[in-house]
């Protein structure tokens, strides 16, 4: 049942007077439940509980954390239709998408459970002492990764499950040993509360300390800013706009004790189509890309917002085929009136720039909150001169840049801001002739795709979902897959520490049987 209250640890709480409702964009009406924004005293209570919980939670075994994470997954599934219906009513997204995202969320939680249960993720490394070394004895040094402390996670508007309350950031932080305080996204506060109730149930059933998880309601930027500035918070995870992510990053940097903000922000995901590929399959590529641009009403951080090619008849044919194909798609609902309005405004701003040509702009936007998909084309020189054309238009929109030659194509790529993905479309043997283009693309992105589409982020250890700024605030980390746990830990060394006082991961006997780097050799063997 949705109460509209905050979870301050395991307690439901609504001390404040500021309230708000979520919105059903499909029906164009407000949903009934009323949510109460957290007060300063509730924020302080949640951070204090998280700080206290950290003292015990950081030492909870991998086996117990795995039970907790698996219990969260089971409790989310037990929410069944209530969760799916609430999700759909708060997003305008179809049931199939809700179920798919739930599957991904549960899968992420279980993959982190497997990771911490196995245990080698802490990267234990041991260099045993050499007391007789000349001219100086060598001390015994043992290192592992330890959790940072309470983490604040901002729920994402476009992924109410997989990147929100129990999404990738939360799953990774809980797996690492960090308590989590979620700043619930106001557009899907009901989905958030239901998932929070699943986490609290799981925490209680598996004996986790109170405060290991809290869910904070808010509509407006004040509560989020207070959380980021709070001295008891040690790291932040965020998915959303560049404006929001950058503001939080700057706030965290201005604190007396600066803390890391791992923000995954806007991206236009350049797609480079090489000449032979364009020549041989422009029609098929147009159909593939019309689908990718409109998937999920274009509300994906990996949406292909920019398509690059060298001027030719084939490129002109591709532009017409893409424009025709996209106009044949049925318009679909956006997440919220505000996101719809932002789409319209940003799209019109780009379309009004000098020397842009609108080749598709669906004119049957009859239902409220439904997006009209569009394609714009521009030449390489104009694109290079106008930074407005480089900005994300979040929705079913893409721009085709027609470059004079390969040098201009390379210049356009090199002048892009950092991106999550880059895609190369090439015919066999063609790519080897364009090493400069590929190198330029590699410099600007976190993941490079060959002959595919950027939409669809596989959750697995080799996935990189991150990239040079501003696609993320720290390109050394991924926000998806088990290695995303590294955002919430720091390396820590014990020097000459007694064996019985070391954590199990570093003890001579290797009681957990994990893989360790011992005197520069990877092994599961005990130290004699
Ligand atoms: P957002 O505006 O960045 O907000 C995300 C979250 O951060 C919200 O909970 C918001 O709080 C909070 N927030 C934003 N600015 C803040 C600040 N200065 N201080 C404290 N908290 C702050 O993103 P959104 O609501 O999801 O969507 C708005 C636009 O962001 C979209 O139209 C789209 O352009 C872009 N977006 C991009 C991606 C992507 O993956 N590329 C994903 C989602 C959104 P409140 O809502 O409570 O104010």
DSSP letters of 264-332? Answer: E-----EEEE-HHHHHHHHHHHHHHHHHHHHGGGG-STT---EEEEE-SHHHHHHHHHHHHHHHTSPP-
303 and 360 together in one domain: yes
Evaluate: CB of 267 within 6 angstroms of ligand 1. yes
> Atom 48 in ligand 1: which residue has the minimum CA distance?
220
Structure tokens at 170: 């939360």
CATH number of the domain to which 55 belongs: 3.40.605.10
- For 118, other C-beta atoms within 10 Å of its C-beta total 15
261 and 395 together in one domain: no
Is 460 an active-site residue? no
Asked if residue 469 belongs to a domain, the reply is no
Is 403 an active-site residue? no
33 and 166 together in one domain: yes
Is the pTM higher than 0.85? The answer reads yes
Which atom, in ligand 1's list, is nearest to the CA of 303? 41
Asked if residue 508 belongs to a domain, the reply is no
Asked if residue 502 belongs to a domain, the reply is no
CATH number of the domain to which 426 belongs: 3.40.309.10
Q: Check 37, 52, 88, 301 and give the catalytic one.
A: 301
DSSP structure class, residue 138? B
352 and 432 together in one domain: yes
160 and 288 together in one domain: no
Q: pLDDT truncated to tens, each residue of the chain (528 aa)?
A: 899 999 999 999 999 999 999 999 999 999 999 999 999 999 999 999 999 999 999 999 999 999 999 999 999 999 999 999 999 999 999 999 999 999 999 999 999 999 999 999 999 999 999 999 999 999 999 999 999 999 999 999 999 999 999 999 999 999 999 999 999 999 999 999 999 999 999 999 999 999 999 999 999 999 999 999 999 999 999 999 999 999 999 999 999 999 999 999 989 999 999 999 999 999 999 999 999 999 999 999 999 999 999 999 999 999 999 999 999 999 999 999 999 999 999 999 999 999 999 999 998 657 999 999 999 999 999 999 999 999 999 999 999 999 999 999 999 999 999 999 999 999 999 999 999 999 999 999 999 999 999 999 999 999 999 999 999 999 999 999 999 999 999 999 999 999 999 999 999 999 999 999 999 999 999 999
194 and 278 together in one domain: no
Number of domains in the chain: 2
Q: Is the peptide bond before 470 cis (omega within 30 degrees of 0)?
A: yes
Distance 128 CA to ligand 1 centre (A): 49
Mutate to test the pocket of ligand 1, among 154, 160, 244, 471 (most ligand atoms within 8 A of CB): 244
131 and 179 together in one domain: yes
400 and 441 together in one domain: yes
Q: Is 394 exposed, middle or buried (0-12, 13-18, 19+ CB in 10 A)?
A: buried
Q: Containing domain of residue 232, as a range?
A: 6-265+477-487
Asked if residue 200 belongs to a domain, the reply is yes
277 and 403 together in one domain: yes
CB of 145 closer than 8 Å to CB of 115 = no
Distance 187 CA to ligand 1 centre (A): 10
Asked if residue 257 belongs to a domain, the reply is yes
Mutate to test the pocket of ligand 1, among 241, 298, 306 (most ligand atoms within 8 A of CB): 241
């Amino acid at each position: 049942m949705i109460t509209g209250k905050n979870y301050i640890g395991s307690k439901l709480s609504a001390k404040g007077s500021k309230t708000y409702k979520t919105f059903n964009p499909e029906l164009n009406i407000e949903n009934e439940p009323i949510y109460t924004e957290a007060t300063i005293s509730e924020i302080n209570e949640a951070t204090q509980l998280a700080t206290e919980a950290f003292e015990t939670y950081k030492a909870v075994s991998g086996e117990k954390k795995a039970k907790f994470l698996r219990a969260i997954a089971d409790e989310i599934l037990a929410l069944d239709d209530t969760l799916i219906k609430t999700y759909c009513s708060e997003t305008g997204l179809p049931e199939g998408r809700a179920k798919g995202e739930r599957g991904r969320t549960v899968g992420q939680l279980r993959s982190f459970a497997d990771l911490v249960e196995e245990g080698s993720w802490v990267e234990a490394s041991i260099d045993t002492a050499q007391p007789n070394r000349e001219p100086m004895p060598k001390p015994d040094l043992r290192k592992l990764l330890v959790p940072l402390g309470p983490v604040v996670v901002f729920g994402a508007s476009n992924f109410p499950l997989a990147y929100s309350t129990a999404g990738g950031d939360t799953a990774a932080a809980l797996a690492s040993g960090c308590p989590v305080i979620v700043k619930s996204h106001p557009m899907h506060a009901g989905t958030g509360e239901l998932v929070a109730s699943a986490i609290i149930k799981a925490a209680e059933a598996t004996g986790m300390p109170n405060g290991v998880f809290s869910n904070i309601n808010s509509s407006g930027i004040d509560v989020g800013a207070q959380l980021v500035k709070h001295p008891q918070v040690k790291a932040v995870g965020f998915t959303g706009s560049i404006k929001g992510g950058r503001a939080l990053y700057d706030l965290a940097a201005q604190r007396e004790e600066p803390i890391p903000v791992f923000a995954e922000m806007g991206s236009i995901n350049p797609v480079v189509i090489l000449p032979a590929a364009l020549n041989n399959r422009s029609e098929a590529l147009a159909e593939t890309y019309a689908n990718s641009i409109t998937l999920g009403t274009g509300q994906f951080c990996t949406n292909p917002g920019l398509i690059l090619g060298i001027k030719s008849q084939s490129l002109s044919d591709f532009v017409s085929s893409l424009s025709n194909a996209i106009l044949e798609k049925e318009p679909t609902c956006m997440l919220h009136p505000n996101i719809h309005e932002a789409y319209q405004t940003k799209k019109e701003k780009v379309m009004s720039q000098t020397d842009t040509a609108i080749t598709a702009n669906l004119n049957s936007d009859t239902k409220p909150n439904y997006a009209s998909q569009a394609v714009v084309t521009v030449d390489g020189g104009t694109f290079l001169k106008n930074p407005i054309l480089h900005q994300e238009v979040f929705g079913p929109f893409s721009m085709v840049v027609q470059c004079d030659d390969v040098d201009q194509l390379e210049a356009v790529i090199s002048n892009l801001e950092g991106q999550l993905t880059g895609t190369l479309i090439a015919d066999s043997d063609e790519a080897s002739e364009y090493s400069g283009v590929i190198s330029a693309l590699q410099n600007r992105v976190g993941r490079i795709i060959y002959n595919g589409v950027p939409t669809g982020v596989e959750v697995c250890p080799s996935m990189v979902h991150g990239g040079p700024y501003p696609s993320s605030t720290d390109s050394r980390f991924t926000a998806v897959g088990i290695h995303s746990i590294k955002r919430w830990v720091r390396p820590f060394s014990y020097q000459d520490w007694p064996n019985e006082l070391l954590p199990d991961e570093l003890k001579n006997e290797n009681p957990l049987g994990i893989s360790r780097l011992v005197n520069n050799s990877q092994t599961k063997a005990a130290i004699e």
